[in-house]
Structure 1
C-alpha cells in the first residue's frame, strides 16, 4: 500500500502543526464540543445560535427550499466558529435530492445503470454541487447488501445484492467524491440488509457467521478501506458471531450495537481491517441505540468504544453535559478524547478547511445559482435516469403502450413519503403530463366508480416508496390503494390490462404476483418519471439491469 492508501487522512507537516496547535489550545469543553455533529433543518440563526455556542465539530445540513436562507445560515455558522466546522449531509439522491440541486437517481438507480462511467459521472456531479452548497462530507455511499427483501431501510439505498457489483460501484463513487474534495463515508457498519428490521426502531442483527461475514461485508469494507475511503459510519447493528468469538459467554452483550462496541469498532474495523480514517456514529436518537442503555451512559460510551464523532442530538446541551460528566467519571478517558479530536481536526485539515479564508468557503449567492442545476448536469442526470429504468417482466406482451389501444387509463397511485427534512416534494404530475402529451387520457381511480372493460383500456399502479427510516415494512397496500378492506380483495389484471410501475422499492411484485407487466424505476424524481413514459411507449429501450432479484426468490412472481 502507498502511505496515502494506508492512511486516508494523511496530511503534511504544516497541516499537522495546525491540528496539534488547535487541539492543544482548546479548553476541555471545546474538545468535547468537537465530538458532536448537530443537525439543522430550519436555515435560521435562531436554530443555529444555541448549537454553535457548544462549539460543535460539525453541522449536518437538511436545507429548506430557500437557497438564500440556506447560504445565510451556513455563512453564519462559519463566521461564528473559532475552529472551522465541517458540514455534512445525507446526500443519497432520489427524493433525498435537495430542491435547488440537480435531482439524480438514488443509489439503486445508479447501480441499475450497470455502467461504472455513469456512476462516476453522477458522483462527480453530486460532489461538485455539494461543494457549491458548502458540504465537506457526504454520509454515503451505502454499502449494505439486499438480502432481506422486506427491509424498509436498505432497499433503494443500496447498490444491490451482489458483492462484486457493490464493490465496483462503491469504489467508483468513493473515488469520485474524494477526488472532488468531499469525504465519503461507508455505512452502515458492520453491515445492514441481513435483518429485515430497521435499526431506527430496534437494534437490528447481522446474523452471519464469521466466515460468511468475511466473504461478504468483510470483502466489501476491506476493499474500500484499501482504496482510501476517509470515513465509516458505525451503526446500531449487532454482530453476535464476532462478539461471541471473543466473548463466548457474552449473553445479552452479543447483541450490543456496533456504535458502542469496542470489539467491532477498534478490534475488527481498525485492527483487523486496517481502517485508519474517522469513525462517526450513526444518528444517536435512533431506537437501535436508545433502547440499549440509558442516555447519560450512552453518550460517553459512543466515543470511548471507538467512534470519533457523535451524530445528532435531540437535546444538544444535555448531551454535551453528559459527555463532560462521563469524562469526569472516567466513562470517557482523556486518551480517547484526545485521539478522537485529533482525528476530527485531521479530517478537517485533510479537506483543506484549516487553510481557507472563512469568507471564501461559500460562493456569492448568484454564483451558487449559476453553478447548480446547470444544463450539463441536467443532461448527465437525465441520461442516468433513463439508463436505470428496468423492465422486470411483460408476460402479457402489453408493451409498448399505444394510445390507439390504451387511451383510457386508470391510475391507482400511492405517492409514498420522505422521512428526510428538505427532501423533494412527491407527485406523479410529470408522469401524467407525459402520458397526456402522447394522447392518453389518464384518470385517477374513483373508488365509487370501479373501472370496467367498457370504460377503461389500461390500469397502471404507480407506487413510489423509496427505502426510508421508521417505515418498518414497505409493501403494496391494497387496502389503501383500493380504498377499503373489501375492495382490496378485488384484483383487475384478468379483466383489464394492468401494469405495476415502481418509482421506489424493487420488490412490490411480492404482493402482486398476478400483475404480468412490471417496471422498476427506483425513484420518483422528475427525470425518472418522464424517461419511464418514453420507454413505456417504445420511444427508448429499457436498458436497466436489476441490482437485486425482483422476484424475491419465488418462481410464482415471474409469470
Structure 2
C-alpha cells in the first residue's frame, strides 16, 4: 500500500498519521470507503438527521448554521460521536452574511480588499477560524480566488478580493496561512477561475474564455501561489476552460466546454500534473445547474471521482448516488488506483487536521464586534460626490425619503429589512421608507437615499438597479429625483450600480449588508471619519459615471 503522497505537502503526515490512514482504509469495506467520498449538506435541527448521517457515514458534512451557537456545536458533536471515522465538517466562511450567524460580524472579501491592510485580513481570518473551530468546523471552502473581471457577474463581485491579481494574491494567501495555522483547512476556489463570464454557475456552466497564456498570468498565477503556500484543498467548479482542453487534445466540440468538476484535463492534467497540487480536490455543489445541465445526477457523481476529484459535495439522493459510485468502482469505470487515491487523500486530510486524535472543540472565544465595527469604518468608498452633499446634517437634511428594497437572502429564501432607517432616526433624521410601487412624491423632503443591499450570493442571474420596481409604472421608472432634491445612492453589496445610474451625484460602495457596515456608513455619512477613496474595482463602468 503506497501512501507516499501523504508524506508530502500539504499533508506532510508523520508515521503515526500514515499508519492511521492505512489501518482505516483496511478496516473499511467498499461501501464505507465510497461513503468517505461524499460530503453531505446539513441544515436545521431535524431530530432524525443525526441517525441518518450516522447510517450514511459520509466523509464529511457541510453545515448551514442557524443562530443558536450552542445548539450548532451540540449537533456537530453528535455527528462526530456517532461517526466510525471522524468527519470533515465544512462551511463557507466568506464574511458578512456568509459566516457564522452567532459569531463576530466580519467584512466580506471585497470590503477587505477596499481596506487593503493585511493585518486586518489576517485578524479577520483568525477570528473566523477560531470561532469555526470552537463550534466544530475543521474545513473552510475559502478563500475565493476569482477575479472580478466581468462586472455584470452576479456571483463574483463581493465574494472575491476585487479585480487586481496582486491584491487578490496578498489577501488570499494571508487567509490561507492564518486559517491553516489555526487548524482549519483552507480551500482555493473556484477552479480553474471564475470572473470572466457574467453568468452564474449555479444556473449554467460558465466559461473561462482566456487563452492559456492569459490564464497563466492571472488565474494560473493565483493557483500556483496558493499551491506553493500549502493550501490543503482546491474546489473544482462547474467552469469550462476550453483553450486548455483544446491545447492538450481533449477539447473537441462540446468536450471543450466540459465543466472542470468532471474534467480530467483540468483536474488531473492541469491541477495535479502541471501545477503540482497534492491536496484534496473537492467538487463544488454537485446539484448546481452548471453540472446538472451537462449530465444526469448519478453519472455526474461517478465522473467527479473518475476525472480526478476526491470528494463529492452534496447529494439530493445519497443512497442512490453512493450506490452508483459503488457500481462504477465494481465495474472499473472508477479504476482501483483512482478510488484508492481519492479515499486516502480524504483520510489524509483528516489526519493532517488531527482528527485521528479526537478532542473536544475549544471554548468559543469572546466576540470581537467592537473591533469589527472600528475596522468596518475603513471599508466604504465614496466613489463620487459631485454636488458636495456630504456630510449629512440633521438640520439641513432632516427629512429623508429612503428607497430600500431590502437585503436579499437567497440562502434563506427571504428579504430582510435594512437597519439604516433606524440608525439615521437615532441621529435625529426623520426617515420615511418608500413603499415599492407607490407614487413617488419628493415634496417636503430634504434628501433622498437609495439604499441597495444585494451581495453577490447565488442563483439570481443578474443584479441591476430595477428602476421599475423602485418607481410606480412607466413614469415612476423614468423619474430621477436629483433634479428636485439632493440624492445619495449607497450600495451595501454589488458595486456597479453606476452603470444603471451614471448621473447620480453621490455614490457610495459599502460592500456588505451586515449591521456593522451599516453603522460604519452612518458614521461616515455624518463626517465622523474619513472616507476611503481607493476602490478594489472600477465602479465607473460607464464613462459618464464620473461626472
Q: Fold match, TM over 0.5? A: yes
Could you tell me how far apart the structure 2 residues matched to 1:29 and 1:9 are? 25
CA RMSD in angstroms comes to 1.8
Q: Paired residue for 1:35? A: 37
| Residues 5 and 410 (structure 1), Cα distance of their counterparts in 2 relative to 1, 3 Å cut | farther
Could you tell me how far apart the structure 1 residues matched to 2:414 and 2:338 are? 40
Q: Paired residue for 1:444? A: 433
Deviation of residue 509 (structure 1)?
0.9
The answer to whether the Cα contact below 8 Å between 2:447 and 2:486 also exists between their aligned partners in 1 is yes
The answer to whether the Cα contact below 8 Å between 1:15 and 1:349 also exists between their aligned partners in 2 is yes
The answer to whether the Cα contact below 8 Å between 2:113 and 2:161 also exists between their aligned partners in 1 is yes
1:557 aligns with 2:545: yes
The answer to whether the Cα contact below 8 Å between 1:190 and 1:217 also exists between their aligned partners in 2 is yes
Q: More displaced, 292-301 or 459-468?
A: 292-301
Deviation of residue 19 (structure 1)?
0.7
Q: Paired residue for 2:418? A: 428
Q: Paired residue for 1:536? A: 525
Deviation of residue 514 (structure 1)?
1.4
| Residues 146 and 8 (structure 1), Cα distance of their counterparts in 2 relative to 1, 3 Å cut | same
1:463 aligns with 2:452: yes
Q: Paired residue for 1:60? A: 62
1:492 aligns with 2:494: no
1:383 aligns with 2:396: no
| Residues 162 and 68 (structure 1), Cα distance of their counterparts in 2 relative to 1, 3 Å cut | same
Could you tell me how far apart the structure 1 residues matched to 2:416 and 2:459 are? 18
| Residues 77 and 4 (structure 1), Cα distance of their counterparts in 2 relative to 1, 3 Å cut | closer
Q: Paired residue for 2:74? A: 72
Could you tell me how far apart the structure 2 residues matched to 1:416 and 1:6 are? 45
Q: More displaced, 229-238 or 398-407?
A: 398-407
Could you tell me how far apart the structure 1 residues matched to 2:99 and 2:277 are? 30
Deviation of residue 545 (structure 1)?
2.5
The answer to whether the Cα contact below 8 Å between 2:394 and 2:428 also exists between their aligned partners in 1 is yes
Could you tell me how far apart the structure 1 residues matched to 2:244 and 2:292 are? 22
Q: Of 242, 245, 254, which residue of structure 1 is paired with 2:247?
A: 245
Q: Paired residue for 1:218? A: 220
Deviation of residue 544 (structure 1)?
5.7
Q: Of 230, 236, 242, which residue of structure 2 is paired with 1:228?
A: 230
Could you tell me how far apart the structure 1 residues matched to 2:149 and 2:423 are? 35
What secondary structure is seen at the aligned counterpart in 1 of 2:404?
Answer: strand
Equivalences for 1:512-531 in 2 at 5 Å? 512-531=501-520
Q: Paired residue for 2:105? A: 103
Deviation of residue 433 (structure 1)?
2.6
Could you tell me how far apart the structure 2 residues matched to 1:233 and 1:348 are? 17
Deviation of residue 31 (structure 1)?
0.3
1:268 aligns with 2:270: yes
Deviation of residue 356 (structure 1)?
2.0
Write out per-residue CA displacement over residues 16-43 of structure 1, whole angstroms, 9 at most, x where no aligned residue.
1001111111100000000000001113
Equivalences for 1:370-409 in 2 at 5 Å? 371-372=365-366, 374=367, 377-409=368-400
Could you tell me how far apart the structure 2 residues matched to 1:81 and 1:4 are? 23
Deviation of residue 384 (structure 1)?
2.4
Q: Of 293, 315, 318, which residue of structure 2 is paired with 1:316?
A: 318
Deviation of residue 495 (structure 1)?
1.2
Deviation of residue 196 (structure 1)?
0.4
Write out per-residue CA displacement over residues 85-138 of structure 1, whole angstroms, 9 at most, x where no aligned residue.
010001111122322111111111111111111100101011010111110000
Q: More displaced, 409-418 or 275-284?
A: 409-418
Could you tell me how far apart the structure 1 residues matched to 2:302 and 2:124 are? 38
What secondary structure is seen at the aligned counterpart in 2 of 1:406?
Answer: coil
Could you tell me how far apart the structure 2 residues matched to 1:198 and 1:91 are? 20
Q: Paired residue for 2:471? A: 482
Could you tell me how far apart the structure 2 residues matched to 1:32 and 1:263 are? 23
| Residues 425 and 71 (structure 1), Cα distance of their counterparts in 2 relative to 1, 3 Å cut | farther
What secondary structure is seen at the aligned counterpart in 1 of 2:503?
Answer: coil
Q: Paired residue for 2:171? A: 169
Q: Paired residue for 2:205? A: 203
Write out per-residue CA displacement over residues 51-97 of structure 1, whole angstroms, 9 at most, x where no aligned residue.
32121000110012223332222121011101000100011111223
Could you tell me how far apart the structure 2 residues matched to 1:287 and 1:201 are? 5
| Residues 342 and 522 (structure 1), Cα distance of their counterparts in 2 relative to 1, 3 Å cut | same
Deviation of residue 387 (structure 1)?
1.1
Write out per-residue CA displacement over residues 397-424 of structure 1, whole angstroms, 9 at most, x where no aligned residue.
1111111111110000121312225x99
Q: TM-score, normalised by structure 2?
A: 0.96
Could you tell me how far apart the structure 1 residues matched to 2:451 and 2:172 are? 30
Deviation of residue 45 (structure 1)?
3.5
Could you tell me how far apart the structure 1 residues matched to 2:408 and 2:418 are? 13
What secondary structure is seen at the aligned counterpart in 1 of 2:41?
Answer: strand
Could you tell me how far apart the structure 2 residues matched to 1:49 and 1:418 are? 30
Q: More displaced, 114-123 or 486-495?
A: 486-495
Equivalences for 1:329-344 in 2 at 5 Å? 329-344=331-346
Could you tell me how far apart the structure 2 residues matched to 1:485 and 1:28 are? 63
Could you tell me how far apart the structure 1 residues matched to 2:77 and 2:294 are? 37
Gaps of at least 5 residues in structure 1 are none
The answer to whether the Cα contact below 8 Å between 1:148 and 1:196 also exists between their aligned partners in 2 is yes
1:505 aligns with 2:507: no
Deviation of residue 248 (structure 1)?
6.9
Report how many aligned residue pairs link the two structures: 542
What secondary structure is seen at the aligned counterpart in 1 of 2:12?
Answer: coil
Equivalences for 1:82-231 in 2 at 5 Å? 82-231=84-233
Q: Of 387, 406, 414, which residue of structure 2 is paired with 1:415?
A: 406
What secondary structure is seen at the aligned counterpart in 2 of 1:11?
Answer: coil
Q: Paired residue for 1:257? A: 259
The answer to whether the Cα contact below 8 Å between 2:100 and 2:132 also exists between their aligned partners in 1 is no
